[in-house]
């Protein structure tokens, strides 16, 4: 019976210091030895975790919260944000003094230099401040944008842009996805390719963008450091990413 486990990255595979615990590496090694397929499901862009994939020998992933799906190094789905809607977002956010960052699979560019919110948010991922290119979205396929603003301003954007979905991932930043986009939708595409039933699909996560994924898969596992609403969406809660959470979670569901 084929099984697959999807792993979020930040706060899941990586701890609060953006490091991977030795127990996590051992757990994934045991998973593979047991014949379980291993994949990543993240809000990050592919260029942000390519080294991690090489380190763990993983070649299948759901990135951009479901907008760019790769199975065994082949792109099986991509869904860019419509340029006309990005244009509207650019104008709307500019009026409110909210900078943006645009991402494709290889790089990211910002609309503003030296912004504290961008520096704090992108810095939390251990990435340098992106170069400025206001017209990046006109030249490349943008799979995700980031809006940098306070939490109390999310609702205005949600009302103004029904074709987008806004998912907060940082105190100062919100992901912008196509409406209906989620890790869960990307997972459905991959398991169809693999011929695995949803009841044999497992997923680990900790953030708001993991809720649909944990609800959709056969067994959703929330990290001990997950938000309360994420834990409510899961079937199991393991220990934290700083305290052998992946190892303990896989043991608790009998996969290692």
Q: Which of 83, 105, 79 is nearest to 186 (CA)?
A: 79
Alpha-helical runs (H) found in the chain: 22-33, 50-56, 83-95, 116-124, 136-139, 154-160, 183-194, 211-216, 228-233, 245-252
- Give the residue numbers annotated as catalytic, written as ranges: 8
Determine the angle formed by the axes of helices 22-33 and 245-252, rounding to 10 degrees: 30
Residues ≥6 apart with Cβ < 8 Å to 17: none
Q: What is the DSSP letter of 130?
A: P
């Amino acid at each position: 019976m084929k099984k697959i486990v999807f792993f979020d990255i930040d706060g899941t595979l990586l701890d609060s210091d953006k490091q991977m615990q030795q127990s996590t590496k051992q757990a994934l090694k045991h998973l593979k030895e047991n014949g379980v397929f291993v994949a990543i499901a993240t809000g990050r862009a592919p260029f942000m975790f390519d080294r991690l994939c090489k380190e763990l020998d993983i070649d299948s992933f759901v990135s951009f919260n479901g907008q760019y799906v790769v199975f065994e190094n082949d792109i099986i789905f991509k869904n860019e944000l419509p340029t006309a809607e990005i244009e509207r977002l650019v104008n709307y956010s500019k009026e409110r003094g909210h900078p943006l960052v645009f991402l494709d699979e290889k790089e990211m560019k910002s609309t503003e230099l030296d912004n504290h919110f961008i520096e704090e948010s992108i810095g939390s991922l251990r990435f340098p401040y992106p170069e400025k290119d206001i017209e990046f979205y006109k030249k490349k396929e943008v799979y995700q944008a980031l809006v940098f603003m306070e939490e109390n301003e999310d609702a205005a954007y949600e009302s103004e842009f029904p074709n987008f979905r806004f998912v907060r991932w940082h105190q100062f930043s919100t992901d912008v996805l196509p409406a209906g986009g989620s890790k869960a939708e990307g997972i459905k595409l991959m398991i169809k390719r693999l011929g695995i039933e949803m009841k044999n699909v497992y997923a680990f996560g900790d953030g708001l963008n993991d809720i649909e994924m944990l609800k959709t898969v056969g067994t959703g596992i929330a990290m001990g450091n997950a938000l309360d609403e994420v834990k409510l969406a899961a079937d199991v809660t393991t220990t934290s990413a700083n305290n052998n959470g992946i190892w303990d979670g896989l043991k608790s569901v009998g996969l290692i």
